[in-house]
């Protein structure tokens, strides 16, 4: 039976450190603050915003929410982003995406001050991930994967890792982060030939495909560590990952659950990034 890599355990350790750092900043008159910008009323975004707000407030990070109508113009959104860039009391900005189709995502996200880009959405922060330059914030979800691996002492150097999914928000950055830690990384996607064999070959599997329970027993073998990033709803309406949890439990060495794995760690990483951004203003 596999070890379950519980997000709650990682969250507890992360939150304790973040709360201590936030407290230390407050003694110097700095209150770490996150601004969340949302356009429209998508249920998943409202739910993420609620979870992020709760998590931030629990560790002493203030949160200001800005809800614009879905039909807000690019100029209106720019005006808000520029206002937040200029506001010294705001240390991090979380822009909930995807943006409505009438807005140019490339232009909007790059309007954000890179120093406040705590979810790594600007090209400047992506470039820092690519060049391994320190000082920028990597996107919160891939960072959460790394926090989990580190918390449970999973060795990465020399290991074969496969990342299934190559999005800019998860797959590509996590592949680069694993490479940076000296894993030998394969980045797989929908054109990969014989994906089950490619995944079986790896010691560490990061599943970020967005397909409910896609990685079943034929993809897995003994000794693997599996990090399941997927958040999907199955045919019964249940929240499930990209990995068939029951099948994996019987086969692999360790795996994250869904829910209660990567998703729960992501908002703690977000709070940590806001506190780090505030520390850099000292």
For residues 71 and 62, what is the distance between their CA atoms, to the nearest angstrom? 28
Instruction: Select from 214, 225, 224, 230 the least CA-distant residue to 263.
Output: 230
Candidate ranges 23-31, 54-62, 125-133, 203-211; the one touching ligand NAP (CB under 6 A): 203-211
Residue with tokens 């020399």: 158
User: By CB under 6 A, what part of segment 17-46 binds ligand NAP?
Assistant: none
Helix axes 262-279, 7-27, angle to 10 degrees: 20
Does residue 175 belong to the site contacting ligand NAP (CB under 6 A)? no
In angstroms, what is the minimal distance from the CB of 172 to ligand NAP? 9
DSSP 237: S
In the complex with ligand NAP, the residue whose CB is nearer, 75 or 194, is 194
Quick note: the x/- pattern for ligand NAP over 258-277, rule CB under 6 A, is: ----xx--x-----------
For residues 280 and 52, what is the distance between their CA atoms, to the nearest angstrom? 22
191, 235, 237, 282: residue in contact with ligand NAP (rule CB under 6 A): 191
90, 164, 174, 215: residue in contact with ligand NAP (rule CB under 6 A): 164
In angstroms, what is the minimal distance from the CB of 81 to ligand NAP? 22
Residue with tokens 């709760």: 54
Measured in whole angstroms, how far is the alpha carbon of residue 37 from the centre of its chain?
17
For residues 5 and 132, what is the distance between their CA atoms, to the nearest angstrom? 27
Token pair for residue 191? 């054109």
Does residue 169 belong to the site contacting ligand NAP (CB under 6 A)? yes
**111 contacts: CB under 8 Å, gap ≥ 6:** 78, 81, 82, 85
For residues 281 and 115, what is the distance between their CA atoms, to the nearest angstrom? 9
Does residue 186 belong to the site contacting ligand NAP (CB under 6 A)? no
Quick note: the x/- pattern for ligand NAP over 121-160, rule CB under 6 A, is: --------------------x-------------------
DSSP 174: H
Does residue 206 belong to the site contacting ligand NAP (CB under 6 A)? no
- Using CB atoms, what's the residue nearest to ligand NAP? 167
50, 102, 189, 280: residue in contact with ligand NAP (rule CB under 6 A): 189
71, 190, 197, 280: residue in contact with ligand NAP (rule CB under 6 A): 190
Please check whether residue 118 is in contact with residue 273, taking contact to mean a CB–CB distance below 8 angstroms.
yes
For residues 144 and 200, what is the distance between their CA atoms, to the nearest angstrom? 23
In angstroms, what is the minimal distance from the CB of 257 to ligand NAP? 12
In the complex with ligand NAP, the residue whose CB is nearer, 72 or 96, is 96
* Interface with ligand NAP (CB under 6 A): 141, 164-167, 169-171, 189-192, 195, 208-211, 229-232, 262-263, 266
């Amino acid at each position: 039976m596999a070890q379950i890599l519980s997000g709650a355990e990682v969250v507890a350790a992360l939150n304790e450190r973040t709360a201590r750092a936030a407290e230390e900043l407050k003694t110097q008159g700095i209150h770490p603050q996150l601004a969340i910008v949302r356009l429209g009323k998508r249920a998943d975004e409202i739910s993420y915003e609620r979870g992020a707000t709760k998590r931030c407030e629990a560790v002493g990070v203030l949160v200001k929410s800005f809800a614009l109508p879905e039909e807000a113009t690019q100029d209106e959104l720019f005006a808000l982003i520029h206002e937040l860039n200029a506001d010294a009391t705001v240390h991090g900005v979380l822009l909930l995406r995807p943006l409505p189709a009438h807005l140019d995502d490339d232009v909007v996200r790059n309007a954000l001050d890179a120093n406040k880009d705590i979810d790594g959405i600007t090209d400047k922060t992506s470039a820092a991930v690519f060049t391994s330059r320190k000082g920028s914030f990597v996107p919160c979800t891939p960072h959460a994967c790394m926090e989990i691996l580190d918390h449970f002492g999973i060795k990465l150097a020399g290991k074969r890792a496969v990342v299934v999914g190559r999005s800019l928000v998860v797959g590509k950055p996590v592949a680069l982060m694993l490479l940076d830690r000296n894993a030998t990384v394969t980045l797989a996607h929908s054109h990969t030939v014989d994906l089950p064999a490619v995944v079986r070959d790896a010691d560490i599997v990061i599943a970020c495909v967005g397909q409910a329970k896609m990685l079943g027993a034929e993809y897995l073998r003994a000794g693997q560590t599996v990090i399941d990033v997927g958040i999907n709803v199955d045919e019964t309406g249940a929240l499930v990952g990209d990995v068939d949890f029951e099948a994996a439990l019987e086969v692999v060495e360790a795996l994250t659950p869904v829910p209660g794995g990567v998703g729960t760690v992501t908002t703690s990483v977000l709070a940590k990034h806001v506190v780090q951004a505030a520390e850099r203003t000292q």
